[in-house]
Amino acid sequence: MSQKSYKSIWILLFYILFYSAPALAAERYIIGFSQATTTEPWRLLFNQLTRHEANKHENLTLLVRNAQDSVTKQIADIEELISRKVDALLVSPKEAEGLTEIINRASKSGIPVFVLDRDILNKNYTQFIGGDNTLIGRNAGTFAIDYLGGKGKAKGVILEIWGGQNSTPAHDRHNGFRDIVDQESGISCLNVKNDGDWKQDKAYQIATRAFQTHKNIDLVYAHNDPMAYGAFLAARDLGIEKKMAFIGIDGIPAEGVRWVYDGILDATFLYKTPGGDAIQQALRHLQGEKINKKLTLPTLKIDKNNAEQILRQHGLLN
């Protein structure tokens, strides 16, 4: 074999080794995901889209834990993921106060922590990813005012059904809504202490009691779509559903958007699930890229004007 042939072979080997080296050296990652619960449709979609994004990355293993609506179990789940020395940790807390300490402990152990949907009591984590719940509440308040007569003219009685009162989204959705509707002297909000805990059946019970006690409710504002639907069912069972409007939050196409299209809800507001974004952000961070402390996800008002279009986009209408 000639000297020129040998040189060509060495050049070929160099290029093969040089360009295949990054693939051979691709680092594998294990990401833990602590989910608060899977009893709500929004949470099921959250998990589905998180796994969908994780499956796109061959060098990633995702460990999912379900806290089953228990702060105690979620703490234990996170402790287990810390002990496994995961490369990054995604946490959607059941509540702020109960999960703050264990999330701080994970961060102090050197694990990048991504807090999703519900915030904790401090910012000792790598990144928060979620919607702007105060803005969503304000948007719901604006819709309520428009429905009840318009700015400066609105009149009516509103029943608000809370999500989990120990969670930050519920407080933000309440505060944002009241920032707007409290400006209208003709609107009154029932001072009914309730915690629907994001559940349809609990909202049904809360609404039934409220409807039986207060005969003049004009609008129900629930902190998510299942609770708004539960309130609608309660009103329907009492034969008064046509006397009031129902507003929810989440905007899942097969659920909230469908209920708007069917005339059950008057409006819902998109609360995008953060799991897919969390996988992307965690990988960027692990690969040395700079990421922001907070990633705010977009929202959208969904009413009779765009519900059909959204359903068609998702293949849910022929």
* Mean pLDDT score, 273-288: 98
CA proximity to 244, closest of 214, 201, 200, 270: 214
* Burial bucket for residue 272 (CB in 10 Å: 0-12, 13-18, 19+): buried
- List the structure tokens of 2: 């000639």
Does residue 6 carry a pLDDT above 50? no
Task: Mark whether 70 and 144 lie in a shared domain.
Answer: no
Q: Would you say residue 55 lies in a domain?
A: yes
Task: Mark whether 87 and 28 lie in a shared domain.
Answer: yes
* Mean pLDDT score, 33-39: 96
Does residue 181 carry a pLDDT above 90? yes
Say what the pLDDT of residue 243 is.
97
Say what the pLDDT of residue 3 is.
53
Of 16-30, 172-186, 216-230, 290-304, the one with minimum mean pLDDT is 16-30
* Mean pLDDT score, 121-138: 98
Task: Mark whether 265 and 277 lie in a shared domain.
Answer: no
- The residue whose two tokens read 């509440």 is 137
Say what the pLDDT of residue 18 is.
44
Task: Mark whether 68 and 164 lie in a shared domain.
Answer: no
pLDDT level of residue 192 (50, 70, 90 thresholds): confident
* Mean pLDDT score, 77-91: 98
CATH code of 45's domain: 3.40.50.2300
Q: Would you say residue 290 lies in a domain?
A: yes
pLDDT level of residue 1 (50, 70, 90 thresholds): low
- Paired residues of 297 in beta bridges: 131
Of 24-28, 90-94, 228-232, 255-259, the one with minimum mean pLDDT is 24-28
* Mean pLDDT score, 21-48: 85
DSSP string, the chain: --HHHHHHHHHHHHHHHHHHHHHHTPPPEEEEEEES-SSSHHHHHHHHHHHHHHTT-TTEEEEEEE-TT-HHHHHHHHHHHHHTT-SEEEE--S-HHHHHHHHHHHHHTT--EEEESS--SS--SSEEEEE-HHHHHHHHHHHHHHHTT-TTT--EEEEEE-S-TTSHHHHHHHHHHHHHHTT-TTEEE-------TT-HHHHHHHHHHHHHH-TT--EEEESSHHHHHHHHHHHHHTT-GGGSEEE-SB--IIIIIHHHHTTS-SBEEB----HHHHHHHHHHHHTT----SEEEEP--EESTTTHHHHHHHTT---
How far is it, in rounded angstroms, from Cα 62 to Cα 232? 38
Q: Would you say residue 261 lies in a domain?
A: yes
> Are 255 and 226 in contact, with CB atoms under 8 Å apart?
yes
Say what the pLDDT of residue 24 is.
42
How far is it, in rounded angstroms, from Cα 258 to Cα 271? 15
pLDDT level of residue 85 (50, 70, 90 thresholds): very high
**Average pLDDT over the chain, rounded to whole?**
93
Task: Mark whether 113 and 29 lie in a shared domain.
Answer: yes
Does residue 296 carry a pLDDT above 90? yes
Q: Would you say residue 259 lies in a domain?
A: yes
pLDDT level of residue 318 (50, 70, 90 thresholds): confident
Say what the pLDDT of residue 17 is.
45
Q: Would you say residue 218 lies in a domain?
A: yes
CA proximity to 133, closest of 109, 163, 159, 157: 163
Task: Mark whether 243 and 152 lie in a shared domain.
Answer: yes
Is pLDDT larger for residue 5 or for residue 69? 69
Please give the share of the chain, as a percent, with pLDDT higher than 70. Answer: 92
Say what the pLDDT of residue 220 is.
98
Q: By residue range, what is the domain housing residue 212?
A: 133-272+305-313
- The residue whose two tokens read 């994001």 is 198
How far is it, in rounded angstroms, from Cα 65 to Cα 188? 42
Task: Mark whether 97 and 174 lie in a shared domain.
Answer: no
Q: Would you say residue 11 lies in a domain?
A: no
Number of domains in the chain: 2
* Mean pLDDT score, 224-240: 98
Q: Would you say residue 95 lies in a domain?
A: yes
Task: Mark whether 167 and 257 lie in a shared domain.
Answer: yes
Phi, psi of 31 (to 5 degrees): -115, 130
